[in-house]
Amino acid sequence: MDLQSLVASGKKAKRETEDYINHHIHDQTKGWPVLSRIAKDFASKWESLVLEDKLLVWKFKHGSKDALRHIYEKYRDDLLRIAAGLLNDTSTAEDIVQDVFVVFVRSAKQFHLTGSLKGYLARCVANRARNVNLSRRRRQTVRMDDIEPIASDFKRPDQWIICSEEFTKLSSAMTDLPYEQREAVILHIHGGMKFREIGKLQDVSGKTAQSRFRYGFNKLRSILGIEVAK
Partner 1 sequence: MRPAEKTRQFIKNASINSNPEVNEAVLKNLFDELDKSKDIPRDAPEPNIWRIIMKGRLSKLAAAAVIIFAALLALNFFDKTSGIVWADVVKRLEDIKTVAYKITTDIKGMPGTPEGYTTHITQDVTLSYEQGAVRIDSSLQVPSGTRKLHTYILFEDRVLVTLMPAAKKYVEVTIGDDEQMAKMEEEKGDPVTLLKAMLEHDYTELGRKTIDGVKAWGIEVSDPKLGIKMGPLISGGMFEETTVQLWVDERHKLPIRIKATGSSKDGQASMETVYDNFQWDIKIEPALLKPEIPDDYELLTQGKWETGNEGEEIIDVLRLFVEYADGKYPASLKTMTVAKAIAPALKKRFPPGSPEPSKELLARFMKVDRVGMMYTTLEKDGKDPAYYGDKVSAESPEAVLFRWKIDEDTYRVVFGNLRTEDVSAEKLAELEALSNIKEK
Residues that bind partner 1 (CB under 8 A): 26, 63, 65, 68-69, 72-73, 76-77, 80-81, 84, 98, 101-102, 105-110, 120, 123-124, 127, 152, 154, 156-164, 166-167, 169-171, 185, 189-190, 201, 217, 220-221, 224-225, 227-229
The SS3 call for residue 193 is coil
Q: How far is the CB of 94 from partner 1 (least distance, A)?
A: 8
**Residue 21 CB, nearest approach to partner 1 (Å):** 13
When the beta carbons of 42 and 72 are compared against partner 1, the nearer one is: 72
Q: Closer CB to partner 1, residue 92 or residue 171?
A: 171
Pick 26 or 40: Cβ nearer partner 1: 26
Q: How far is CA 111 from the centre of its chain?
A: 15
Shortest distance, position 2 Cβ to partner 1, whole Å: 33
Q: Which long-range contacts (CB under 8 A, 24 or more apart) does 131-140 make?
A: 132/87, 132/92, 132/96, 133/86, 133/87, 133/179
Q: Which of 10/212 has CB closer to partner 1?
A: 212
Q: Minimum Å distance from CB 32 to partner 1?
A: 18
Quote the CA–CA distance of 34 and 19 in Å, as a whole number: 12
Per the CB < 8 A criterion, the answer to whether 119 and 184 are in contact is no
Residue closer to partner 1, measured from CB, 45 or 76: 76
Q: Rounded to the nearest whole angstrom, what is the least distance from the CB of residue 60 to partner 1 in the complex?
A: 8
What is the rounded CA–CA span in Å between residue 228 and residue 89?
23
Contact between 100 and 128 (Cβ < 8 Å)? yes
Q: In whole angstroms, what is the distance from residue 210 CA to residue 205 CA? A: 9
